Structure 1
């Protein structure tokens, strides 16, 4: 009698596991990634700084190579500089070279602040 109970319980466990393994293949929301569903299309400086911080953590944990780290970090810094340019549109004629340098310095200051807040320095 106990063998039948163990057989039924084992079968139920196996069927439940099989269901959880196979169910994602038959879901109706194919082609959508849950991480991108929450993104509303607005990019902020805080999100870029957060991405740079995550990138640095990945590099320090040896998850990515130095070459890839430097390339991605430069891209994020350029993106942040572009965001800063769009946020503070100049009202008069400003020397573009000095404006770019100023934006880069501001970016570096903000990164330094974030590192201090996170306890990295």
Structure 2
């Protein structure tokens, strides 16, 4: 009877060892950073929530004022680009220059309204 327990115990230990060591030797997988599908692209809400998290980190003094300003500016530029892409996708691309400037100003105003709305929600 001792041999049965010895064999079963050995199988359990070998199986556990296999599951622990096998990820280190697996190959042929593409790193997660290189794979980007449509589901993994950033949304406007994710950018806004990242700005809110950044502000929380700054208020809790986890990051410096310089880093905060740089990152916040980068996120706001990203949000502006995303809103411009959305508005350009909806409307014709052959607008006169004056109308484009007006639309750009409207997009920036919309970004600021959305940021204010999200700040008030998460508060």
TM-score class normalised by the smaller sequence? 0.5 to 0.7
- Find the aligned partners of 1:16 and 1:55 in 2 and give their Cα distance: 44
What SS does structure 2 have at the residue aligned with 1:88? helix
Per-residue deviation at 1:83? 1.9
Change (3 A) 1:38 1:86: closer
Larger RCO, structures 1/2 (Cα 8 Å, 6+ apart): 2
RMSD between aligned residues: 3.8
| Correspondence for 1:85 | 84
Q: Which runs of 5+ in 1 are unaligned?
A: none
Per-residue deviation at 1:75? 0.6
Aligned residues: 115
| Correspondence for 1:52 | 51
Q: Map residues 23-38 of structure 1 onto 2, 5 A cutoff.
A: 23-33=22-32, 37=35
- Find the aligned partners of 1:63 and 1:22 in 2 and give their Cα distance: 41
Change (3 A) 1:38 1:82: closer
Change (3 A) 1:30 1:84: same
Change (3 A) 1:86 1:15: same
- Find the aligned partners of 1:72 and 1:80 in 2 and give their Cα distance: 12
Change (3 A) 1:50 1:75: same
| Correspondence for 1:103 | 107
